[in-house]
Amino acid sequence: MPETTTAARGGPRPARAAGLPLPAALTGLAAALAVAVAASLVIGAEDLAAPRAFAALFGDGADRQAHLLVFEYRLPRTIVAIAAGAALGVAGALIQAYTRNPLADPGILGVNAGAAFGVTVAFGLGLSASTSALVWPALVGAGAATVAVLLLASIGRGPATPVRMTLAGVALAAVIGGVTTGVRLSDPETFERLRSWQAGSVAGRSLADLADVAPYIAAGLALAVLLLKPLNAIALGEDLAASLGVNTRNVQVLTVTAVALLVGAATAVAGPIGFIGLMVPHACRLLVGNDHTRVIPMSALAAPVIVLLADVLSRVLLPLRELPVGVVTAFIGAPVLIWVVRSRKAGAP
Amino acid sequence: MSRTGAARAFVLRAPLPGVRASERFSVRSTLTCAALLALTAAVSLAALMLGEVVYSPQQVAQALFGEAPGAAELFVVQWRLPRAVTAAVFGAMLGLAGALFQSVTRNPLGSPDIIGFTAGSSAGGVAVVALIGSSHLMVAAGALAGGFAVAALIVLLSRGGGIAGFRLVIAGIALSAMLSGLETWFILSADLDIAQVAALWSTGSLNGTGFTYTGPALLAGTAMLLVTGFGLGRRLRLLDLGDDASAALGADPGRTRLLAIAAGVVLIAIATASAGPIAFVALAAPHIGRRLAGAAGAAPAPSACAGALVLASADLAGQHAIPGHSYPVGLVTVAVGGIYLITLIARENRKGTL
């Protein structure tokens, strides 16, 4: 019932009659993704002419240098960016849909900080630096932070307004971040090992790293598919959703689980990357309207495009050195957040 | 006046206009300030006593009056005294700046940490360290420029009611995220040894404070405290009465806001330039001061005194709370202040005002 949903009071956006037809939007996004992947293979510290890159990619092993560059560096990092991007985009869409809060974003709500805290503690306890050892601490940290921020925002009277939730997330992220830095400073070795990880980067990640987290991302995406229809009902308000036969408690548990899985896994492999979960669902709603059965799959396709483009930018912005992709996404995402609060009454309680 | 009305709807603990505004020095407010300052003095005394060599209060007093042996004089006067004084004065500056911002935005969360000024000062300072060099004056200029740039941006963004009340807070969160990204950029693009200096500075720390280094900042900060306290106190009390009343009583509210923001940015930039960004003191100190003094409005003096106590205690805790580890004061304030923010949000939620 997309029509009813979009008209729902308190829905994520005011009624938007029509968006692009879904096939057109999906085709456009797929094309954009292809372009982004091509850019990610071609552009970098050592520019590789497109014909050489693609010749190497499609089995021409004669060009050793291009082969090495593509298969050892560019392709793994591209695939990691796609997976992490899809996870973060879907997580953002899920949490915005469930909380009916257009400002919700795993980074703003402190979920990334929770995952980072889990990883730091694991490091401090002497676990190895491999991604497989980081997954579980990151998942637990992300899950705990998600539950904590939702609880904190829902204490007391009335619904958890977007502002309450954002503030709760900021406060939580501040505390967790402070403790995380404290742990790192008291143990120089941990600090050194986490320095490259903490800014959020897909550089130097291998497919083996991705394989360690892929099952969790897959599980999170599968849960998201199950949640598409119930979340549309939740958009009508919890009471109406319950009267439509949706078990709101189950939806809550499943959403939190899915968000924790997706964010925890993405953070374990790529470090905390902010604002993807905020921007992408907004862009998708502009394209296809408010129906979650459309927005969430679209986010899975659109987020990798943004992460890839941010990653390509991060390679060329500084001479001789790469910028963490998390810095670039903050630069793209923060103006989007300001635009969101300026353009609508999102800040109003 | 719709802007004021809209803003007031967002206020967490609405400053009831006019309740006490006419009393220039209420007894309770004066007593609160005296008590807070006495506590600050006690904490500072503890800071002078504790350390690798522990001295008794008598020995500290002897050292302060130049009657102690050389070692005690070195430890207490050369090393510990500058740090204790700096903590108290910078704390007072941050507390006063927080009171100014919260008064101007009419929002208890409108502290410089949350609306992005601190991040602006910090990014400005790091930019100077990374790109030009770590001379004290240049860093101060960078911090000042960064703070003013963010202030201008916030004023521009909130033009036409585009951002009022809590939307200001959200915009500040976005700005802070961007500025910390900018900082990372500067730190990464600098050489490694310079990057380490910049990164250390950006945690907010009083380590290695000495009078030769922080002396100018202390003098300038004390002067700003006095100028702001005496120069703006009346205007701020009038502003608490509401824009109309303030204008009718001869203080243009727009001008008051501009002056208060400028004074707040200067206070924060001075403290940030020497100690780095110290989070959440400017948020929590005015709340503590206002509550203790039972004041309805801005309460600049109790806020400043509370700030002094908060920062002095935080630095003492950072140095001595966990034996064997010395943490930058910025970490203590971010952890404790964050917990305070959480309880604040929980309490306001329960009242249903958020």
Considering Cα of A205, then A206, then A209, then A215, what sign does the dihedral take? positive
Q: Can you tell me the mean pLDDT for A56-71?
A: 76
Query: Which of the four pLDDT bands, split at 50, 70 and 90, describes residue A195?
Result: low
pLDDT > 70? residue A240: yes
Q: What is the distance, to the nearest Å, from the Cα of residue B70 to the centroid of all Cα atoms in its chain?
A: 35
Considering Cα of B125, then B131, then B134, then B139, what sign does the dihedral take? negative
Q: For residue B160, what pLDDT is reported?
A: 57
Largest CA distance in chain A: 68
Q: Can you tell me the mean pLDDT for A130-159?
A: 82
A286 touches chain B (CB under 8 A): no
User: Of all residues in chain A, what percent are helix, strand and coil, respectively (each to 5)?
Assistant: 75, 0, 25
| Chain B interface test: which of A163, A317, A325 (most B C-beta within 10 Å) | A163
- Cβ contact, residue pair B346, A156, below 8 Å: yes
Q: Can you tell me the mean pLDDT for A169-176?
A: 84
CA B262/CA A194 separation, integer angstroms: 39
Q: Which residue type, as a one-letter code, is found at position B218?
A: L
- Cβ contact, residue pair B170, A166, below 8 Å: yes
Q: How far is A47 from chain B (nearest CA, A)?
A: 21
Burial per residue of B193-228, b for 16 or more beta-carbon CB atoms within 10 angstroms, e otherwise:
ebbebbbbbbbbbbbebeeeebebbbebbeebbeeb
All residues of chain A having their beta carbon less than 8 Å from the beta carbon of residue B334 are 174-175, 177-178, 181
A14 touches chain B (CB under 8 A): no
Which pair of tokens denotes residue A319?
């001479």
Residue B1 burial (CB count, 10 A): 8
CA B189/CA A94 separation, integer angstroms: 36
- Cβ contact, residue pair A342, B167, below 8 Å: yes
All residues of chain A having their beta carbon less than 8 Å from the beta carbon of residue B346 are 152, 155-156
A-B Cβ pairs (cutoff 8 Å, strict): 149
Q: What is the pLDDT along chain B (354 residues), one digit of tens a residue?
A: 344 444 433 444 444 444 444 445 578 888 889 999 999 999 998 888 887 778 888 888 888 887 777 777 778 888 888 888 889 999 999 999 999 888 887 777 778 888 888 888 888 888 888 888 767 778 888 888 888 888 888 777 766 555 556 677 778 888 888 888 888 778 777 777 777 777 777 777 787 777 777 788 888 888 888 888 788 888 887 877 777 888 888 778 778 888 888 888 888 888 888 888 888 898 888 888 888 887 777 788 889 999 999 999 999 998 888 777 778 888 888 888 888 888 877 777 776 555
Residue by residue, DSSP assigns A291-321 as -HHHHHHHHHHHHHHHHHHHHHHHHHSSSSS
Q: Which of A147-156, A302-311, A313-322, B192-201 has the highest mean pLDDT?
A: A302-311
Q: How far is A112 from chain B (nearest CA, A)?
A: 13
Cβ–Cβ under 8 Å, residues B206 and B315: yes
Largest CA distance in chain B: 66
CA B73/CA B39 separation, integer angstroms: 24
Burial of residue A28 (CB within 10 Å: 0-12, 13-18, 19+) is middle
- Cβ contact, residue pair A103, B170, below 8 Å: yes
Residue of chain A with shortest Cα separation from B348: A156
Cβ–Cβ under 8 Å, residues A206 and A139: no
- Residue with the two structure tokens 């240098």: A65
Of B188, B327, B341, the CB nearest to A171: B341
Q: Can you tell me the mean pLDDT for A95-124?
A: 85
All residues of chain B having their beta carbon less than 8 Å from the beta carbon of residue A171 are 338, 341-342, 345
Convert the pLDDT of each residue in A161-170 to its tens digit.
777 788 888 8
Element (H, E) at B80: none
Of B173, B328, B345, the CB nearest to A152: B345
How many helical (H) and strand (E) elements, i.e. helices and strands, does chain A have? 15, 0
Query: Which of the four pLDDT bands, split at 50, 70 and 90, describes residue A225?
Result: very high
Q: Nearest-CA neighbor of B89 among B278, B283, B284, B340?
A: B278
Length of chain A measured in residues: 349
Residue of chain B with shortest Cα separation from A166: B170
Query: Which of the four pLDDT bands, split at 50, 70 and 90, describes residue A201?
Result: confident
CA A275/CA B92 separation, integer angstroms: 35
Residue of chain A with shortest Cα separation from B174: A334
Contacts of B16 (CB under 8 A, 6+ apart): B296
Cβ–Cβ under 8 Å, residues A186 and B323: no
Report percent pLDDT > 90 for chain A: 20
Cβ–Cβ under 8 Å, residues B267 and B224: yes
All residues of chain B having their beta carbon less than 8 Å from the beta carbon of residue A185 are 203, 327-328, 331
Helix A292-316 and helix A276-288, axial crossing angle in degrees, nearest 10: 130
- Cβ contact, residue pair B352, A158, below 8 Å: yes
- Residue with the two structure tokens 């469930």: A98
Q: For residue B68, what pLDDT is reported?
A: 74
pLDDT > 70? residue A4: no
- Cβ contact, residue pair A152, B163, below 8 Å: no
CA A124/CA A127 separation, integer angstroms: 7
Contacts of B326 (CB under 8 A, 6+ apart): B207, B318, B319
* The three-state (H, E, C) secondary structure of B140-187, written as one string: HHHHHHHHHHHHHHHHHHCHHHCCCCHHHHHHHHHHHHHHHHHHHHHH
Q: Can you tell me the mean pLDDT for A239-255?
A: 86
Residue of chain B with shortest Cα separation from A336: B174
Residues of A numbered 27-66 whose beta carbons fall under 8 angstroms of chain B's beta carbons: which are they?
A: none
Q: Nearest-CA neighbor of A263 among A87, A103, A134?
A: A87
All residues of chain B having their beta carbon less than 8 Å from the beta carbon of residue A334 are 174-175, 177-178, 181
Of A177, A274, A323, the CB nearest to B188: A323
Q: For residue A308, what pLDDT is reported?
A: 93
Residue A1, SS3 per DSSP: coil
Q: If you ran DSSP here, which 8-state letter would residue B76 be given?
A: I
CA A205/CA A196 separation, integer angstroms: 12
Residue A199, SS3 per DSSP: coil
Q: Nearest-CA neighbor of A299 among A29, A19, A17, A8?
A: A29
Residue B133 burial (CB count, 10 A): 11
